Amino acid sequence: MTKERSGAPARIVVAGAGLIGQAHIERILREPEARLAGIVDIDEKGAAQASALGVPFSKDIDAMMENARPDGIVIALPNQAHFAAGMAAVHARVAMLMEKPVCETAEQALELAEAAERAGVPVLVGHHRRHSPIIQRAKEMLASGRLGRITAVNALCWLLKPPAYFEGRNSWRREPGGGPVIINLIHAIDDLRNLCGDIATVQAMTSNQARGFPVEDTAGVILGFRNGAIGTLALSDAAAGPWSWELTAGENRAYPRTTESCYYIAGSAGALSIPRMEFWHHGAHGHWWTPIHTERSSMPDQDANGREADQDPLANQMRHFCDVARGKAQPILDTRDGAQTLQATLAIHEAARTGEVVRLG
Ligand SMILES: NC(=O)c1ccc[n+]([C@@H]2O[C@H](COP(=O)([O-])OP(=O)(O)OC[C@H]3O[C@@H](n4cnc5c(N)ncnc54)[C@H](O)[C@@H]3O)[C@@H](O)[C@H]2O)c1
C-alpha cells in the first residue's frame, strides 16, 4: 500500500500498554505519519517494551509529557483512569486519542470537554468503527436517500466469551462496569448514532442468568431515535451465533469471519444489511406485493483524501489522529459526541433497573 507522508511525523506517546495499547503501538510503528515517542504504564512490562523499541518509559503521565513533549497521547488505560489522564493531557496541552468509553460518567466527559475546549486541546474518542470503510459506505448510502426515510433498525451482538475471559486478572469483567453493555454494545450504540442520528429514549431488560455474575450477560434494548426511527438491539455474551460485528466485519483476525450481517436498517424506500451491504428494494412505487430486488454495494478503494483506503479501522483512526495532533484536522468524534454515546449506553442499565423509559437530554 502506498502512503504518502505529509510533513514531520506526529510524535505519539501511548499510555497503557495493555490489550488495546498494543494494537495502537503496532499501528504507530506501521504508520509513516507517526513516531512512537514513549510508553506510560504502571507495570514494568511497559519498561521492557519501551527499552526494546528505544523510546522513553515512565509510570507517570505528567513526567512523560514534561520530558517527551509529544504531539499526541493515546490514552488506553482502564476506564477509571480516563478522566485524570485526559485532564493531565489538557494541562500539558497535548492532543489525545481517548479510548472508549470516553470517561466513566457523562458528567466527567463534559468536564473534560469544557477543560479541553478552554485550553484548545483536541480530543478524538476511540470509537474506531467510525473509521471503518464498511460503516462509512453504509453512511454514504443512508445519506444518499436511497433507503428513504429511516423507520426501523435492528442490531445483533451475540458473542460466546470463553471462561478465561472472566478469570484471574480479568475478573473485573464480572462486576458492574465490566459487562457486555459497556464493553461491547457501546460500539453498536455509537455505530447506530453515527448512521441513524441522535437517540432520544432508551428502554431495556437485562439478565445475568446464563453466567450468574453480578453484571448482565444478556440484554434487550429499544432505542427511540430523534427522527422517529425505532431500533431494537439484542446482546448476549453467552450466545453462540454468527451475528455480531466481531464475527462479520472481518476487522480483527482473532475472530472467525462469517459472511452474515449484524445490522439491518430499513426505510420507506429500501433496506440495508451491514456488513454484507445488501440493499433491498421494491423499485419505484413498489410495495410488499411487488417483486423485491437486491444489489450489493462494493467497498470504496480510496479514502476521503483520495488515498488508497485501508480496511483496518484502527490504522485509519491512527492516521486521522496524526492529522489531529499536528493541527491538520478536527477530531471526527469529540468528547461531547463520545459523551452522548456513553449516556445512551449507561441509560440501558438505568432503564433495566427501573423498568422506565429513560429520556436523554
Ligand atoms: N476500541 C476498542 O475496541 C477497545 C478494545 C479494548 C479495550 N478498549 C478500551 O481501552 C481501555 C484499556 O483496555 P484494555 O483491554 O487494553 O485494558 P488492559 O488491562 O489490557 O490494559 C491497561 C494497561 O494500563 C496499565 N495501567 C493501569 N492503570 C494505570 C495507570 N494508572 N497508569 C498507567 N498505566 C496503567 C495496565 O498495567 C495495563 O498495561 C479501556 O478503556 C477499554 O474500554 C477499547
- From residue 345, alpha-carbon distances to 230, 235, 274 in Å are 16, 12, 21
Q: pLDDT tens for the chain, 361 residues: list them.
A: 344 556 799 999 999 999 999 999 999 999 999 999 999 999 999 999 999 999 999 999 999 999 999 999 999 999 999 999 999 999 999 999 999 999 999 999 999 999 999 999 999 999 999 999 999 999 999 999 999 999 999 999 999 999 999 999 888 899 988 899 999 999 999 999 999 999 999 999 999 999 999 999 999 999 999 999 999 999 999 999 999 999 999 988 899 999 999 999 999 999 999 999 999 999 999 999 999 999 987 766 655 555 555 789 999 999 999 999 999 999 999 999 999 999 999 999 999 999 999 999 8
Q: Which of 199, 73, 190, 72 is nearest to 132 (CA)?
A: 190
Tell me the one-letter amino acid at 354: T
The pTM of the full predicted model, rounded to 2 decimals, is 0.94
CA 361 – CA 352 distance, rounded (Å): 18
Report residue 152: phi and psi, to 5°.
-140, 140
Protein residues with CB under 6 Å of any ligand 1 atom: 15-21, 40-43, 76-79, 81, 99-100, 126, 128
Residue whose grid cell is 499536528: 326
What ranges do the domains of the chain cover?
10-121, 130-306+342-359
CA 49 – CA 55 distance, rounded (Å): 9
| Nearest CA, atom 30, ligand 1 | 42
| Nearest CA, atom 7, ligand 1 | 20
The atom number, within ligand 1, closest to the CA of 17 reads 39
| Nearest CA, atom 24, ligand 1 | 16
Mutation to probe ligand 1, out of 62, 99, 127 (largest number of atoms < 8 A from CB): 99
Fold of 10-121: Rossmann fold (3.40.50)
Specify which residues 124 forms β-bridges with: 97
Report residue 305: phi and psi, to 5°.
-95, 10
Pick the CATH number of 130-306+342-359 from 1.10.510.10, 3.40.50.80, 3.40.50.2000, 3.30.360.10: 3.30.360.10
3-class DSSP state for residue 28? helix
- Using the mean position of ligand 1's atoms as its centre, give its distance from the Cα of residue 44 in Å: 15
Q: Which of 276, 283, 266 is nearest to 298 (CA)?
A: 276
- 3-state DSSP helix/strand/coil % of the chain, to nearest 5: 40, 25, 40
- Using the mean position of ligand 1's atoms as its centre, give its distance from the Cα of residue 285 in Å: 52
Angle 82-91/61-68 helices, nearest 10 degrees?
30
